[in-house]
């Protein structure tokens, strides 16, 4: 520091150290400087002049791109010396034992052992606090303590910005398999379709690209300048690079068209489908499928159509089907759901998955020719649109479904049962991805900028790590080795996060634990499905029994009514009272006598009604009345 001249030494006598500070009180001091006319006459008026001066030396600007080197520092425990004898098999115990005995019979062996013992005794004397010759915790497994004190964190390495201001919307990011340091960022520019669109500013005009619809290939070690670019005359909504052959890339446009690019050459698309064969709305989903020449892919749109293309001939699609929950032989476009995501796994070459904006998940069959054969099944998973779906890299039959406010993990072995794992978040989830390094780790991003890491072996109720960003997290993807995570934000920035050792490497038993967990959950779902089928069967049998009972009751009532009507039509048998009454009615003399008797009884009743009663007091009542007066 002294050579640079930024050092100052203050000298002070020893006897002045520690003196008491003395303060005095006095009135304020006011300084007044009057203007001077003599100085005013010396003032010279001049026009403003900007002049640059450069007194330092000129240096040439240069840039250097170096490769990152990962270093590690750890200790080694030599249980036994190294074997440098080629003719001895280290895994054969008998051969190593014979070689040891041969060396021990040598005369120089004792001298060498004595020399080594002196050095070992000196070292052990300096470390005599513990017994270094004893093996501690031998009975415990070697991987028991691994991961107990592991650090769970993600460190930001690079930030890749869009070359245009204002920034465009970043849709997806894809890593290239040929070069692990190269990746493609796909941008879309929906602002150019608005009526009041103003031309964007290119921050890197010397790159040789002045197209606001272009997307770029970047190098991981250089975040200032892309490697090369691809152009498009219209707005590109989504693009995908073929996993099996990285020289092929297809993209979907805002007008519903699909285009084909050659990744080994820059510029625009090599071929484009015509408007009469494209989708009616914007192309929102693309997935490559297995083929001999790696030239076939599916495209989906918000108009509800899924088209099967071949890059060798984009004039007409090979096959087309509508995403209907109940497909018919003659499909109706009004019943179709808009496609938001397409997924295909190369290890399952027959099936592919279709996600819609109505929360439905369709399972498609590539060998189907009719709509009923192509759309195998339809499941309603979410209330809103399904954002993305991704299979577990280690267990491909289990896949992650992200939509609305929920995250679900489904299994293909259980079709009609609720999801194996169910996670509900307070904010709308926009993206999700499985880790390629650990089978139990996945991450999700929401519209509030929260990036959450979940480990199914640690917790099912809360994330193990949460990182907050200012903008919404729109897309997530792990590097194939699992060390880096690519985070796409709504403002057009792409962040590279480096995960700690505990989040990118798996333990020995992690895969077996996840397998047993998935099997247990699948078994539980199968039991629930069997119980549901049992309840449905019981309900169906109960309904059938009640229907049969109702039918039998109706038959019995109809039989009763029929018998009653028959009885009414048949002549009735007379009883004794009826016969006696008929005999009386037939006897004229008896009827006449009975009539006279009835008339006599009526006369007696009338005479009794006309009779008057005279109320007279007795002697006793008269005397009593007089005494009271």
Query: Three-state SS for 104?
Result: helix
Return the higher-pLDDT residue of 1 and 87. Answer: 87
Residues 438-459, mean pLDDT to the nearest whole number: 93
Question: What confidence score (pLDDT) does residue 53 get?
Answer: 73
- Judged against a pLDDT cut of 50, whether residue 3 lies above it is answered with no
Question: What confidence score (pLDDT) does residue 100 get?
Answer: 86
Confidence category of residue 373, pLDDT binned at 50, 70, 90 = very high
Question: What confidence score (pLDDT) does residue 70 get?
Answer: 76
Q: What is the mean pLDDT of the chain?
A: 84
Q: Which of 120-134, 259-273, 444-458 has the lowest mean pLDDT?
A: 120-134
Confidence category of residue 252, pLDDT binned at 50, 70, 90 = very high
> Distance between CA 413 and CA 399 in Å, rounded?
11
- Residue 354, phi then psi, degrees to nearest 5: -125, 125
Question: In the chain, pLDDT over 90 holds for what percent of residues?
Answer: 35
Inter-residue contact 292 to 279 (CB < 8 Å): no
- Judged against a pLDDT cut of 60, whether residue 204 lies above it is answered with yes
- Judged against a pLDDT cut of 60, whether residue 478 lies above it is answered with yes
CB atoms within 10 A of CB 493: 17
Return the higher-pLDDT residue of 336 and 79. Answer: 336
How remote is the C-alpha of 245 from its chain's centroid? 28
Q: Which of 19-28, 220-229, 243-252 has the lowest mean pLDDT?
A: 19-28
β-strand partners of 173: 185
- Judged against a pLDDT cut of 50, whether residue 456 lies above it is answered with yes
> Distance between CA 589 and CA 612 in Å, rounded?
37
* Residue in the block written with tokens 């600007």: 61
Confidence category of residue 34, pLDDT binned at 50, 70, 90 = confident
> What tokens does 619 get?
């002697």
> Distance between CA 471 and CA 461 in Å, rounded?
25
Question: What confidence score (pLDDT) does residue 1 get?
Answer: 41
Inter-residue contact 420 to 409 (CB < 8 Å): yes
Question: What confidence score (pLDDT) does residue 121 get?
Answer: 81
Inter-residue contact 249 to 230 (CB < 8 Å): yes
Confidence category of residue 355, pLDDT binned at 50, 70, 90 = very high
Confidence category of residue 2, pLDDT binned at 50, 70, 90 = very low
Question: What confidence score (pLDDT) does residue 427 get?
Answer: 92
Inter-residue contact 166 to 212 (CB < 8 Å): no
Rounded to two decimals, what is the model's pTM? 0.66
Question: What confidence score (pLDDT) does residue 573 get?
Answer: 60
Question: What confidence score (pLDDT) does residue 496 get?
Answer: 94
Closest CA to 479 of 211, 33, 177: 177
Question: What confidence score (pLDDT) does residue 186 get?
Answer: 92
Return the higher-pLDDT residue of 508 and 466. Answer: 466
Length of the chain, in residues: 629
Query: Longest C-alpha distance within the chain, in Å?
Result: 172
Confidence category of residue 624, pLDDT binned at 50, 70, 90 = low
- Residue 579, phi then psi, degrees to nearest 5: -65, -40
Query: Three-state SS for 430?
Result: strand
Inter-residue contact 366 to 353 (CB < 8 Å): no
Question: What confidence score (pLDDT) does residue 621 get?
Answer: 57
* Residue in the block written with tokens 């770029």: 216
Confidence category of residue 189, pLDDT binned at 50, 70, 90 = confident
Return the higher-pLDDT residue of 599 and 62. Answer: 599
């Amino acid at each position: 520091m002294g050579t640079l001249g930024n050092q100052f030494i203050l000298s002070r006598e020893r006897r002045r150290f520690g003196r008491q500070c003395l303060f005095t009180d006095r009135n304020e001091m006011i300084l007044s400087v009057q203007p001077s006319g003599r100085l005013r006459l010396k003032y010279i008026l001049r026009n403003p002049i900007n002049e640059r001066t450069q007194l330092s030396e000129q240096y040439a600007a240069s840039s250097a791109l170096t490769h990152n080197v990962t270093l590690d520092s750890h200790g080694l425990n030599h249980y036994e010396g190294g074997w440098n004898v080629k003719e001895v098999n280290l895994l054969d115990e008998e051969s190593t034992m014979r070689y040891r005995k041969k060396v021990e019979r040598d005369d120089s062996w004792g001298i060498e052992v004595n020399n080594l013992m002196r050095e070992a005794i000196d070292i052990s004397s300096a470390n005599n606090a513990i017994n270094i010759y004893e093996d501690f915790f031998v009975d415990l497994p070697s991987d028991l303590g691994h991961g107990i004190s592991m650090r769970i964190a993600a460190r930001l390495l690079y930030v890749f910005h869009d070359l245009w201001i204002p920034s465009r919307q970043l849709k997806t990011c894809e890593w290239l398999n040929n070069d692990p340091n190269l990746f493609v960022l796909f941008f879309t520019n929906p602002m150019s379709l608005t009526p009041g669109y103003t031309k964007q500013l290119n921050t890197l005009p010397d790159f040789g690209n002045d197209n606001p619809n272009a997307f770029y290939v970047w190098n991981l070690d250089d975040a200032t300048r892309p490697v090369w670019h691809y152009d498009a005359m219209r707005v590109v909504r989504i693009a995908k690079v073929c996993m099996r052959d990285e020289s092929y890339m297809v993209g979907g446009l805002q007008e519903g068209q699909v285009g084909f690019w050659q990744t080994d050459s820059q510029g625009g698309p090599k071929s484009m489908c015509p408007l009469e064969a494209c989708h009616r709305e914007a192309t929102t989903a693309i997935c490559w499928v297995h083929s001999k020449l790696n030239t076939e892919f599916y495209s989906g749109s918000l108009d509800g159509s899924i088209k099967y293309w071949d890059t060798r001939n984009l004039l007409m699609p090979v096959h087309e089907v509508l995403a209907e929950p109940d497909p018919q032989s003659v499909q109706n476009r009004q019943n179709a759901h808009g496609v938001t995501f397409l997924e295909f796994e190369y290890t399952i070459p027959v099936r592919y998955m279709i996600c819609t904006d109505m929360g439905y998940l369709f399972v498609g069959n590539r060998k189907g020719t009719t709509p009923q054969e192509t759309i195998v099944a339809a499941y309603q998973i979410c209330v809103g649109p399904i954002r993305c779906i991704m299979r577990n890299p280690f267990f491909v039959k289990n896949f992650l479904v992200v939509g609305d406010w929920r995250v679900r993990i489904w299994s293909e072995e259980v079709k009609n049962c609720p999801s194996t794992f169910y996670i509900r978040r307070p904010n709308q989830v926009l993206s999700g991805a499985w880790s390629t390094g650990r089978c139990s780790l996945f991450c999700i991003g929401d519209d509030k900028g929260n990036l959450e890491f979940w480990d199914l072996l640690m917790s099912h109720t809360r994330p193990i790590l949460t990182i907050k960003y200012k903008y919404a997290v729109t897309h997530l993807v792990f590097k194939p080795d699992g060390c880096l995570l690519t985070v796409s934000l709504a403002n057009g920035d792409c962040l590279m996060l480096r995960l700690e050792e505990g989040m990118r490497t798996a333990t020995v038993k992690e895969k077996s634990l996840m397998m047993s967990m998935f099997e247990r959950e699948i078994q539980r779902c199968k039991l629930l499905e069997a119980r549901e089928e049992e309840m449905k069967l019981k309900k169906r049998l109960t309904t059938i029994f009640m229907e049969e009972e109702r039918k039998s009751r109706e038959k019995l009532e109809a039989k009763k009514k029929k018998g009653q009507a028959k009885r009414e039509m048949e002549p009735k048998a007379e009883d004794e009272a009826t016969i006696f009454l008929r005999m009386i009615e037939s006897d004229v003399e008896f009827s006449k006598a009975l009539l006279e008797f009835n008339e006599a009884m009526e006369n007696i009743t009338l005479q009794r009604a006309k009779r008057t009663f005279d109320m007279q007091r007795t002697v006793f009542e008269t005397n009593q009345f007089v005494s009271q007066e």
